[in-house]
Copies of this chain bind each other. A is one copy, B any other.
């Protein structure tokens, strides 16, 4: 097993090497890690392992015993829930530097899958919860992040319950524009036209919004016809005027 070999190799790293590895990490100063001091970081680092998960692969199973916690370093993870007859819904998307995993619960309440190729910094369950208990700063930070997730999920509920198909699709694109890693160099002054890479297929977008594939597709062309977006490619769109998209997300018109 590749994971095991990797872990053995990593066990042999010196502490200095370990600390350096975190220093070089893209999310060292973001997400859960941002509040950690040197000692806390090292404690976590000691039980962590890097893992690349290919697109489409399951990370956590719904109802399974939990196996890992993880920081998302790159890529997008989708969290889904299903009804018995197969209807499903994407209850959340995780972007870097989001944290994956449900603490203090024996089973996992949702299914987690790599929506794109994903780079993870994983922690075994028991070790992570032990460190969590021992370091209030870490637990406090995770609490804050959980509160934000709860806020976001309630915001999304309003969208699911009360927005029209047109508003839903516009809101989805807007969410991506805000949350997804920007295309191009992040230090460049923002060009007027924003390009968004869609990490999801039409089917997955439909599962995010509680719509069908066809409705998503129709609303995308509607937005294109209204000159609010340009479809550069099935997986890439351009937004010439973000304010227009914001208006479309608020009122179907």
Contacts and interface: CB of A to CB of B under 8 A. Distances in A.
Interface of A: 79, 81-85, 87-89, 91-92, 102-105, 109-110, 136, 139-140, 142-144, 146-147, 149-151, 153-158, 160-163, 207, 209-210, 250-251
B91 A158 contact: yes
A109 B154 contact: yes
Q: How many copies does the complex hold?
A: 2
A94 to B, nearest CB: 13
27 contacts: A81-B158, A85-B250, A87-B162, A87-B163, A91-B157, A92-B154, A102-B147, A102-B151, A103-B147, A104-B143, A104-B144, A105-B147, A105-B151, A139-B139, A139-B140, A139-B143, A142-B143, A143-B146, A146-B150, A149-B150, A150-B150, A150-B153, A153-B157, A160-B161, A161-B207, A161-B209, A161-B210
A125 to B, nearest CB: 15
A157 B157 contact: yes
